[in-house]
Structure formats: C-alpha cells, structure tokens
C-alpha cells in the first residue's frame, strides 16, 4: 500500500457528496455541490465500500474476493488517496 494511505483508515464520503446510479444513462455518479463526476469501471463498487466502517484493508480484501487476480492491493489505495485529495472522502 502507498505510505500516505494508512491501512487502518476508514474512508467515507464527506456529507456534501453522494453516490448515485443514473438508471436512464446506466452511469454511476458522485454528486457534489454544483458538480457531477462520472465513475467508470469498478470505481462505484469501491466507493460503495467506503462506509466509514470498513478500513482500507477490509475494502481491499472484499474487492480481492470479488475480483480474483486483479491488482486491487496496488490500485485501490491510490484511487482512495486521489478521492481524499479531491476532498470527497474523509
């Protein structure tokens, strides 16, 4: 894991950000004040696990279970760090 993402961090969306699925367009979205971010690939399934209860280790373990062989342990902490730096995760 990246040194700047602690494995015991319990990420959660900040209050002003919500995860939504647009059924009409078939897209997963992060809805922010005055902005919408389209999530691609497995991003929504990662964000959905950021409930403030699971730590990064548990999120990685769950995704490794769902996606055997995928480079989850390398990529998920980087993705979470990016969302945190954007101010979308606490």
Q: Residues 6, 85: contact at Cβ < 8 Å?
A: no
Q: How far apart are CA 63 and CA 65, in angstroms?
A: 5
Whole-angstrom CA distances from 7 to 41, 54, 59 are: 23, 10, 10
Give tens-digit pLDDT for 19-49.
999 999 999 999 999 999 999 999 999 999 9
Confidence of residue 18 (pLDDT cuts 50, 70, 90): very high
């Amino acid at each position: 894991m990246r040194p700047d993402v602690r494995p015991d961090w319990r990420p959660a969306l900040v209050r002003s950000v919500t995860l939504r699925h647009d059924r009409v367009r078939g897209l997963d979205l992060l809805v922010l004040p005055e902005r919408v971010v389209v999530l691609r690939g497995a991003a929504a399934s990662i964000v959905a696990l950021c409930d403030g209860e699971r730590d990064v280790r548990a999120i990685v373990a769950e995704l490794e279970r769902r996606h055997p062989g995928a480079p989850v342990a390398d990529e998920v902490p980087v993705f979470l760090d990016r969302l945190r730096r954007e101010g979308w995760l606490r």
